[in-house]
Amino acid sequence: MKKIIFLVITVIISFTTVSNLFAVNEAAALFLLISPGSRVAGMGEAFVAVADDASAVYWNPAGLAFQSGLEITFTHAKWLPQLVTDMAYEFVAYKQYIENISGTIGANVTFLNLGEVYQYNSDTGEFLGTFNSWDLAVSMSYGTKLSPNFGLGVTARYIRGRVLSNDGTSYGVDLGVLYKIPKWKNLRFGANLSNMGPKITYG
């Protein structure tokens, strides 16, 4: 019964909000396109139909439906080190199976430090000060099995960013499915609609 309610709520959210949603992956939120995990990079980022670890909160929340136990994963990388020295990408994800809700929850934090910026008056050349720019996303996910071979997942994401002294906020939603082909043990089908939400604006 819980699974049916979850499915109905997910479908309702999808159809009642999709007309007002569009990708947040505009220039202001490109950090959401950065792929976490060295394992995934080694697979050519073909992970939506795999999604078998805590990073499923990024790749496909439906992958959480087939996971048990507790896991934490993290990624740290210097960003564009050939250009600057103070930019860094951080990704931390957590997942845990909870029997009472017949599914697995997940959470993650993504942070991109864009480093220190020196600002000058374009007319006078006056030095106005230094500013730190960054992007942050905090996500909560839930995945559950609707059948032994079919999983459904949803992620809600809060996005915040700072460019110079201007702050902006937005939100995003991911909807994912994962189906294991019964007759072929290692054959799966996965799909994930990610980062659906309004544009982020700064002011």
**pLDDT tens readout for residues 142-152:** 999 999 999 99
pTM for the model: 0.79
Query: And the tokens for 36?
Result: 């976490």
* Of 37 and 190, the one with more pLDDT: 190
User: What number of other Cβ atoms are within 10 A of residue 56's Cβ?
Assistant: 35
Beta bridge partners of 178: 151, 190
Burial 63-76 (b: 16+ CB within 10 A, else e): bbbbbeeebebebe
* Of 189 and 4, the one with more pLDDT: 189
* Of 156 and 46, the one with more pLDDT: 156
Beta bridge partners of 56: none
**pLDDT tens readout for residues 157-186:** 999 998 877 899 999 999 999 999 988 878
**pLDDT tens readout for residues 68-108:** 999 999 999 998 888 888 899 999 999 999 999 999 999 99
Residue in 147, 54, 137 with CA at minimum distance from that of residue 96: 54
The fraction of the chain above a pLDDT of 70, given in percent, is 86
